[in-house]
Structure 1
Amino acid sequence: MALQRLTAKNLTVFTKADLTFGKGLNVIVGENGAGKTHLLKLAYSVIATFWEEGRKPSPTTPTKTHLQVKLADKLVNVFRPEALGRLTRRKPGRERCDVSLKFTDSKHNISFSFATNSKTEVALEVTPSSWLEVSAAYFPTRELLTIFPNFVSVYEGHYLEFEETWRDTCLMLGEPLQRGPREKRIQELLAPIEDAMGGKIELDKVGRFYLSTPNGRLEMPLVAEGLRKLGMLARLVATGSLLDKGFLFWDEPEANLNPMLIKQVAKSILSLSSSGIQVFLATHSLFLLREIEILTSQQPFDGLSARFFGLHKDADGSVSVSQGDSIDEIGDITSLDEELAQSDRFIEA
């Protein structure tokens, strides 16, 4: 199961966005304010709604009336606008946002829209005939292991100004460890991550995470933030949430990581992609992009499918999308050009 295509008209900064995804790794590149996170959150909101509704006890077949409300709720809780209509592109007068997602199995396809005055529901034009049976995980730029204890219960019992992606991911972090025939594959994926962290992630009975090393256990707040981000990835692999199938959305995985850890993150991401996880990254890190290009040309990742998407700010304030199978095909990205220019200045100096 994979997301093949996403189209959005009049969504936030986009007049029109039309993205064709690969089954493996998909990398969205752009400077700050170009809408990278918005595209990730849009795709995640739809997929997470399908998965959450499908795993409820005795789920019924998707209906237009039910989905129109549930999807609107998820969009508002993930994006956190004042109202659903605030996600439409800012223009004088009333505007309408149109969204369509197509999957490898057409029974999951969906199209919907909402206007600037929409509040509690979307208008469904194409209704899926089946729920998704695979999970979706969203990693925000901040690690979540340190806030995990009691976060879900507090979030669900109070109104907090946190994106629902935090709550969703914390729920997955608290899942029990996977046992059975898939343990060998889990250990294969975990080994290089645990080697980079210098230990294993453990969850105690009261909901606190630790990094267990040969020298003892470290409370998660005492662990470097970059290692905590690797710890989130390790935990979801260990629980089976990221194994063989499903979706991973990761916003700026390079944030707060040193180059050595970025190299490990890139390798882990490609390992997940090659195992059947469809991965979506948002980044403006030249180092991460170069590492991905280097690794995809080497064993054991040679031939792994990857798609790149460049977001470009236009003169009218909107953002356009270019795409291709290599970084060279997505046009110039200002933030990447600045990094290259600095290297030139350093050599000259």
Structure 2
Amino acid sequence: MLHTLHAKNFTLFSEASFEFSPGLNVVIGDNGTGKSLLLKLAYALEYVLHHTLQDSLHDTPLSIEALDLSRKLKNVFQPDKLNRLCRSGDAELLMSSSFFGQPAPDLTIALSILSNENKINIQQSPSFGAFIKNNPVKNISLPLFFPAKEVLSIYPGFITSYEDREVAFDETYYDLCKALNRFLLRGKRREEIADWIAPLESHIPGKLILEDNRFYLQLSEQEKREIPAEGIRKIAMLNYLILNGSLTKGSTLFWDEPEANLNAKLQVKLVDSLVQLANAGVQIVLSVHDLFLMKELSLRIEAGETKASFFELLQEESNIRVVQGENLDDLLTVVALEAALNQYDREQEVLLRDY
């Protein structure tokens, strides 16, 4: 899980620091302020960290390789050269982790992207041996990244096509498709997640099944059909990744614009599940545009259903300023709220013309 992230001279960020909640995290801001960029950066670093730690559990503790970090950053951000991610001069990145909500200093990583040499230097590498000794674990969950576009519709043949370099999607899509390819949980492990999926299942008109490398809705033993709407596909995908164990306690879920193609009713049900997942030990990092979803999340925080960190990214001259709080009211300005208020004012002007 993420604990802190510091980025200096990295793309839009001259210098920015983030301290994440072990549960729910909400990133808001105007277009072009770096919301998706932040999620992708944190995902790429955590993915390499957790992948190497997972390998270290089954072998002599390994070290993070600069080549692995370079490859992941390139495949997630897709620059023509790695040093295009530098703002001016070398970029510096520092990420510290937590383990089930507790800081894990042994998993801190610090690195630089060299602007002149187009490569990565690692200043501080995680001490996997010390972490494993102090935290005996059998498995480490890889983070998940949900892009704004749903993935079930492009799943058929995607893994093979991506590996053959026949598609122009970034690697978050490939990683997500691999996670979807896992077998479903059974027995006791399936029973343990029953409460997690309950808020979602009532809004999925059938059972999601993977058959012949394609996802369908199973309506009955004899009937199956294509999934009808993008919003339903997104809800069904979240449900399926819980059912196959990809999303579990200790996981981190990054979701870029979860509200896209979800009506207000489904957004409420989605928040039900996100709050339940956060309280069950899943770290969630969302980038949100929609005012309804922001307010729904904020209401749950105010009601004491869960705790969260809110981050507002503000464009100030040539830099992005980060404002952090525990709720929506702690932020300086909310672009979506300003737009809604301006719309209300215009609506009143139109109505007054009729009198």
How far apart, in 1, do the equivalents of 2:196 and 2:152 lie? Answer: 20
1:62 is displaced (CA, Å) by: 3.1
Is 1:211 the counterpart of 2:209? The answer is no
How far apart, in 2, do the equivalents of 1:243 and 1:276 lie? Answer: 8
1:60 is displaced (CA, Å) by: 4.1
Q: Which residue of 2 aligns with 1:48?
A: 47
Q: Which residue of 2 aligns with 1:141?
A: 148
How far apart, in 2, do the equivalents of 1:97 and 1:343 lie? Answer: 43
Is 1:82 the counterpart of 2:80? The answer is yes
Tell me which of 292, 306, 323 is aligned to 1:304. 306
Is 1:101 the counterpart of 2:99? The answer is no
With over 3 angstroms needed to count, the CA separation of the structure-2 counterparts of 1:296 and 1:196, relative to structure 1, is: farther
SS in 1 for 2:94: strand
With over 3 angstroms needed to count, the CA separation of the structure-2 counterparts of 1:157 and 1:259, relative to structure 1, is: same
Q: Which amino acid aligns with 1:52?
A: H
Is 1:72 the counterpart of 2:70? The answer is yes
Q: Which residue of 1 aligns with 2:127?
A: 129
With over 3 angstroms needed to count, the CA separation of the structure-2 counterparts of 1:191 and 1:303, relative to structure 1, is: closer
- TM-score between both structures, scaled by the size of structure 2: 0.89
Q: Which residue of 1 aligns with 2:61?
A: 61
Is 1:255 the counterpart of 2:260? The answer is yes
How far apart, in 2, do the equivalents of 1:99 and 1:272 lie? Answer: 29
RMSD: 1.9
With over 3 angstroms needed to count, the CA separation of the structure-2 counterparts of 1:152 and 1:56, relative to structure 1, is: farther
Identity %: 36
Pairing of 1:319-338 with structure 2 (within 5 A): 319-338=320-339
How far apart, in 2, do the equivalents of 1:60 and 1:342 lie? Answer: 60
How far apart, in 2, do the equivalents of 1:110 and 1:72 lie? Answer: 14
Q: Which residue of 2 aligns with 1:167?
A: 174
- 2:114–2:121 CA contact under 8 A, matched in 1: no
- 2:55–2:62 CA contact under 8 A, matched in 1: no
Q: Which residue of 2 aligns with 1:241?
A: 246
1:116 is displaced (CA, Å) by: 2.3
Q: Which residue of 2 aligns with 1:14?
A: 13
How far apart, in 1, do the equivalents of 2:26 and 2:39 lie? Answer: 10
Pairing of 1:33-44 with structure 2 (within 5 A): 33-44=32-43
How far apart, in 1, do the equivalents of 2:209 and 2:289 lie? Answer: 32
1:271 is displaced (CA, Å) by: 1.2
How far apart, in 2, do the equivalents of 1:186 and 1:154 lie? Answer: 33
- 2:251–2:282 CA contact under 8 A, matched in 1: yes
1:192 is displaced (CA, Å) by: 1.6
- 1:83–1:118 CA contact under 8 A, matched in 2: no
How far apart, in 1, do the equivalents of 2:205 and 2:295 lie? Answer: 25
How far apart, in 2, do the equivalents of 1:175 and 1:61 lie? Answer: 26
- 1:53–1:59 CA contact under 8 A, matched in 2: no
SS in 2 for 1:269: helix
- TM-score between both structures, scaled by the size of structure 1: 0.90
- 1:311–1:333 CA contact under 8 A, matched in 2: no
With over 3 angstroms needed to count, the CA separation of the structure-2 counterparts of 1:265 and 1:277, relative to structure 1, is: same
- 1:245–1:276 CA contact under 8 A, matched in 2: yes
How far apart, in 2, do the equivalents of 1:118 and 1:327 lie? Answer: 42
- 2:141–2:248 CA contact under 8 A, matched in 1: no
How far apart, in 1, do the equivalents of 2:55 and 2:158 lie? Answer: 22
The superposition leaves residues 187-219 of structure 1 with CA deviations (integer Å, 9 ceiling, x where unpaired) of: 221122111122221111x11101223694221
How far apart, in 2, do the equivalents of 1:252 and 1:118 lie? Answer: 35
- 1:29–1:309 CA contact under 8 A, matched in 2: yes
Moved more, 211-220 or 18-27: 211-220
Q: Which amino acid aligns with 1:96?
A: D
How far apart, in 2, do the equivalents of 1:59 and 1:85 lie? Answer: 33
Give structure 2 stretches of 5+ with no counterpart.
98-102, 132-138
